[in-house]
Structure 1
């Protein structure tokens, strides 16, 4: 099962690097995430502990393989959300049709102040791109590629 260690490595490093890039672009680049950006982050947040469990279960190859597969599935879900979000940004299909900013409560004045203080981030406009590909597009491509690589390595490990 020489391919399983590589699958575990990808299952841990892909979400760590992609989340790191997302948070760096938010806190250092000033690119505030929209609702669909957050949707892409959640599966990566789930993949990290699953991959860590897979590392912890290295002695039990079958269990490690299962948790690696679950991490790969989470990464793939993030990739699909990213591809969907990129399609919304490129105008290929419609995305959210309602306001996704939800105030936390309080008086009418408090609610209005919360809404007015929230950064306006539209899901259908890419705030940044490189070579015509948005951050959502890169997440979709990289996450999908990582998920497919993990799947291929798991299949290879099961055959060994």
Structure 2
């Protein structure tokens, strides 16, 4: 428990959140590269959340080093949590599309994977994978569903870190 508490103190949680985001992106790219699972437009949208979160966190930590105020770090942790909530929404929307509960967005009806090594006529329409077909399910959840669960856990941890920082779990030499 002390290990978890120490991760949520000071500037450690933004680094952990950024690392977990990079690992989620690495896993997605591994499924694509080694597993042959071409991403649909909603899969790519889920990745955009993690890329944005990494960019925002790097920028926030650089600014925090320039202006080391506790309230700035609290705001950064809250923004990280909000970014993860966006990830939850996108992931669960994708899972809802896969289950047939929600309509797929325009351009998600796909007719097969794109082969980047095949040179095609640019006047022909591009075929993208369908957003409605999950490649597999684990414990009833697709990859999009699990992405939503993981992003939800990370959002809660971000808000807990913001609360711990707000209560003063940062460097004692700082003033609010």
- Same fold (TM > 0.5): yes
Listed as ranges, the matches of 1:3-152 within 5 Å are 3-56=9-62, 57-58=64-65, 59-96=68-105, 98-100=106-108, 110-112=122-124, 115=126, 118=127, 120-152=128-160
CA RMSD of aligned residues (A): 2.3
Greater Cα radius of gyration, structure 1 or 2: 2
Query: TM (normalized to structure 1)?
Result: 0.79
Superposed CA offset, 1:95-121 (max 9, x none): 22x3257xxxxxxx5321x52xx4x41
CA contact (8 A) 1:14 1:143 kept: no
Corresponding residue SS for 2:39: coil
Q: 1:158 to 1:124 in 2, by over 3 A?
A: same
Query: TM (normalized to structure 2)?
Result: 0.73
Larger % of helix: which?
1
Q: Which runs of 5+ in 1 are unaligned?
A: 102-108
How far off is 1:133 after superposition?
A: 1.5
Aligned to 1:104: none
Q: Which runs of 5+ in 2 are unaligned?
A: 1-5, 111-120, 169-176
Aligned to 2:164: 156
Runs of 4+ in 1 over 6 A off after TM superposition: none
Aligned to 2:172: none
How far off is 1:84 after superposition?
A: 1.1
How far off is 1:11 after superposition?
A: 2.2
How far off is 1:134 after superposition?
A: 0.9
* Count of residues in Structure 1 that have an aligned counterpart in Structure 2: 148
